[in-house]
Amino acid sequence: MSAPRIAMLSVHTSPLDQPGTGDAGGMNVYVLELSRALAARGARVEIFTRATSSDLPETMALPGVDHDGTPLDPALDKARVREVLTATDVPAGVTPPILVHHVPAGPFERLDKNDLPGVLCGMAAGLLRWEAARRPGWYDVVHSHYWLSGQVGRIAADRWEVPLVHSAHTLAKVKNASLADGDAPEPPARVLGEEQVVAESDALVASTPAEAAELVELYGADPARVHVVEPGVDLERFAPMVAGLHRSPDEQRAEARRALGLPTGGEIVLFAGRVQALKAPDVLVRALGVLRATGRPVPVLVVLGGPSGRSTAVRELQALAAVTGVADRVVVRPPAARDELATWYHAADVVAMPSRSESFGLVAAEAQAAGVPVVAAAVGGLRTIVDDGVTGLLVRGHDPRRWADALSGLLADRERLAAFGAAARGSAERFGWDAAAEQLLKVYEVAREHGPR
């Protein structure tokens, strides 16, 4: 299967959405970047996601070229879509376009993620209609992301008699084992749905060996069908600051801060992600409170993200900062566009990830690629990304006192901080989307060898 036709399913969130708010996060980046890397190898990738607005076009093409090498307009009419989709010959060296299909299923807006199981039948019906409009056997593989997509994918894979490859991204049993106080557990329906998808997938893709072990131990997955494929990092976009041109890294950091409207002096800790209990930015706010109460220097905490789960999540975090006495040291900004994110990393002395569970932790990998040390919770994939004592620190548990000690000690040791940053880039270079795409193509081939479903 050198150049397969892939139905990529991302039901509950579009890869075109802004990461860092709502349900958009690392998975959105994963689907988009993986699709680009697969297309660069000649794969025909179509991404199916639920339409969340009546203004969205039925199909969009990611910027690129058509099968004949001509520029492709992102806004395609139906006739042009059919022409692009039915083209069978792609010249060597030409990257085929990636199409994003917005499938109507349920109300466009104000539908909570927990309500999405009720629209999966509509999503599956819409997906099957796309295939029915083409010649039989158009798709070679279905690759689903998150359990909701897996439920739709198992129907499509059965109907088309092609393998189902599934990436869980997060697992309910893992999340429920590490809930924050007051956080609602994942419902039993999700646990059951994940068990069904795991049982029926021809191949399961885990981001780390730890996630692979969880699939086997918690969900009874067949070890022979679990494949570890580490996600990639855009190593060109996230590059470290380079000394030279009469500007030291400290001067470049100050320049980045001025561009972002941040204080140029003092230490900055950056949290980039959704503001929700799972990501635990409250632990960092409480750690600042510990530092102030014990008379130690208090860095500025920049929270770069929007609310998720509860619309009031950001206001609640700001209220916590006020109650803790550190409101003057907490800056909240909306999620940044991908092209601006490297500047935010460069503006920080440390990137902090106190997540309660994390299947991979793309922010940690991006920050290290940008040459910035990471202080992270010793959970899930973060244990794979952060080399404790070499590229950053791993903190056990979520006690604010431990986090205060870790941040304070590292920020006070500028020599150690610089050494961590220098080592971080080399560590991140082992993550590449090219390598991930190559491994995924092999996984697709192995899944096909299982024979018809």
Q: What gap in Å lies between CA 374 and CA 235, rounded to an integer?
A: 17
Annotated binding site for UDP-N-acetyl-alpha-D-glucosamine: which residue ranges? 18-19, 26, 274, 279, 358, 366
H helices of 87-162, in order, are 120-132, 147-160
Burial class (CB in 10 A: 0-12, 13-18, 19+), 71: exposed
Which residues neighbour 312 within 8 Å (Cβ) at sequence distance 6 or greater? none
Annotated binding site: which residue ranges? 12, 18-19, 23-28, 113, 146, 170, 190, 274, 279, 345-346, 348, 358, 366
Output the CA–CA distances (angstroms, integers) from residue 170 to 175, 264, 346, in the order listed.
Answer: 8, 37, 28
Q: What gap in Å lies between CA 93 and CA 39, rounded to an integer?
A: 11
Per the rule left: phi > 0, alpha: psi between -120 and 50, beta: everything else, 46 is beta
In 22-115, DSSP assigns E strands to 44-50, 59-61, 64-65, 71-72, 99-103
* Residue in the block written with tokens 């030409």: 94
Q: Tokens for 121?
A: 């039948």
Q: What gap in Å lies between CA 362 and CA 419, rounded to an integer?
A: 22
Handedness of CA 276, 280, 284, 286 (dihedral sign): positive
Q: Are residues 256 and 346 in contact, defined by beta-carbon separation less than 8 angstroms? A: yes
Annotated binding site for 1D-myo-inositol 3-phosphate: which residue ranges? 12, 23-28, 113, 146, 170, 190
Q: Is 177 helix (H, G, I), strand (E, B) or coil?
A: coil
Annotated binding site for Mg(2+): which residue ranges? 345-346, 348
Report the alpha-carbon angle 348-298-179, nearest 5: 80
